[in-house]
A and B are shown apart, each in its own frame.
Chain A
């Protein structure tokens, strides 16, 4: 028998934006080696959930706890949470004009190295390191010299997010609608990237509207979120059921 060890525990979490409570008593426990999918209708709080966990300053935690690797991270800055191994793949990756993707990736990588008290790498070392990772998401090295997400297609932006997840080797990764707006080829590439990355020491949370991603990345659990809390938890079959029936029957 395997003893599950929780890597992320969310206890009775209440959070608000503009004094508008969005997360209402959210409970969720994620163990190492697990893939969780969070589904739910629009406006149920899925994206808020991802931002609150990552520490977005616009959101305020009213009550409850976020325990990451055994310690409460409620009061940590987003930067510190990132260093500890929490990653958020953005639903709408941000464009950063004037900053090359390569510089951005290297800076992020070195910030983590520094936090881990490991030596930082110079641009040459980094280039060989990143070139290998690029293959995992089927991207050409020319994309390193382009500005971060600027002029990227929807698929390229999402692949760039997955590349960053792989590069930073995060322990818990929240993928906020990474599958939305992707054609089937891009979806396959991204899924392959996720599956190669995943192992028994990591955990992944997939926020999605569609079953089709889950055909490629098999979740251990599927949760339905509604009105800021988890109202139902099941296995991969639950997603299929939702695809057929929608959310109405759960109410």
Chain B
């Protein structure tokens, strides 16, 4: 392709993908913060501020000790400047006037912020069948529908509250799926995590509504270290949704989260994410570093954990939602769409660890790269020697838009017994000048053409999203693809 046509193609694509970030505003609010920096005292201070039981402080200190000995992993296809951990605020909370007894007492400024993000914390206004836990910087500001859920025995609260109210459950499960020293960012999170959501679905209960957490980073210099724990007892079922946004700042915000899922016998957990952290500007300045450890444990037989993610934001994404398939006949799924543009870099994928008999897993990954971005799929399928009859199907597709983006696929497959069945399919396609010209020659606009190709490309994944989220994901991609023509 020659330079001139490149230019034309690039402008078209740029127009398409460079839609202004709608969630870039910040909220001016009185905050309670711990000064920048990280040391043992800060860890103790976080624990103290949250008035935590002794066992949790020990958990944190142990993690901090481990973290200090660890090094930032460098194997990912990601290039970013070293993070100065002393330049990060580890605790930033909107100042609460008093203890909140009901949603009516939440700071109106905060309610308004979430309202602006399209998240209504007003239960009367509920349009969809979703309960929301809203996390603002380091703390959960409100959780809706707690009482209704309690009638079913479902516990849905911030993890801070759960630590006080259900210490036994926390003690039993926290850190069991992602051990404190699992990896560098997991150790960091375990030391300084501030809030997140806790869900407990009792035996035999099908959660009557979808549960969701909306994470908002507001403060310019604070990191967000959230921690989510979902426990699904035997024969229970839950669908959980997660959404994320952050204001537009020139510097990078650190987000290092841990999500742990535990599914007991016959339990079914569906975890969906639409991640739209601020991605940085068109030359790659600013944006969130999204360094996340998500793992599910299919502990019981016939249990199932399904991850679905739509990753469109963040400057750096380092994230591998995984399943440990311990129970016989358990199932793990991972469906992913990752869209990168400008100078965004994503290294994402999944790990399926087959331990039990007849365990099955499925990975469907769709990476879309535009601009100068880098989009990498990295996955591991491991079939253990006792996982008789295990099966895996993986499909990794990449779609390149323009000539300067980059897509990589690193599938690792380890099979330790001969009864396993593994399938792997991969493809790379490109929205290039000739395709666009074909659309145009048939009278179809660039926007429509690209939209059609992207939605066709993502179809397998979007079909897995809960209804409310499918609309959100569609809207998000369309937003990024809406042209300024016409």
Contacts and interface: CB of A to CB of B under 8 A. Distances in A.
A96 B438 contact: yes
Interface string B407-443: 0000000000000000000010100011101101111
B41 interface: no
Given A57-B437, A58-B433, A79 B453 contact: no
Interface string B284-326: 0000000000000000000000000000000000000000000
A173 to B, nearest CB: 11
Interface string B426-464: 010100011101101111110010001101110100000
Interface in A83-135: 83, 87-88, 90, 93-94, 96-100, 103-104, 107-108, 111-112, 115
A82 B446 CA distance: 13
Interface stretch (B4-12, B81-89, B163-171): B4-12
A98 B451 CA distance: 11
A97 B438 contact: no
B2 interface: yes
B1 interface: yes
A96 B453 contact: yes
Contacts of B448: 107, 111
Given A18-B2, A58-B433, A94 B453 contact: no
A168 interface: yes
B434 A94 contact: yes
Contact of A98 (B438, B442, B456): B456
Nearest to A105: B442
Given A58-B433, A97-B453, A111-B445, A82 B2 contact: no
Contact of B456 (A17, A79, A99): A99
A176 to B, nearest CB: 11
Nearest to A93: B438
B443 A79 contact: yes
Given A58-B2, A79-B441, A79-B444, 9 more contacts: A57-B437, A77-B440, A82-B443, A83-B443, A98-B455, A103-B452, A111-B444, A164-B442, A168-B442
11 contacts: A57-B9, A79-B441, A83-B443, A96-B453, A103-B452, A107-B448, A107-B452, A108-B442, A108-B444, A111-B444, A168-B443
Considering the complex of A and B, which 6 residue pairs feature the smallest CB-CB distances, nearest first? Answer: A98-B456, A58-B5, A82-B443, A78-B440, A108-B442, A94-B438
Interface of A: 17-18, 54-58, 60, 77-79, 82-83, 87-88, 90, 93-94, 96-100, 103-104, 107-108, 111-112, 115, 147, 164, 168
Interface of B: 1-5, 8-9, 427, 429, 433-435, 437-438, 440-445, 448, 452-453, 455-457, 459
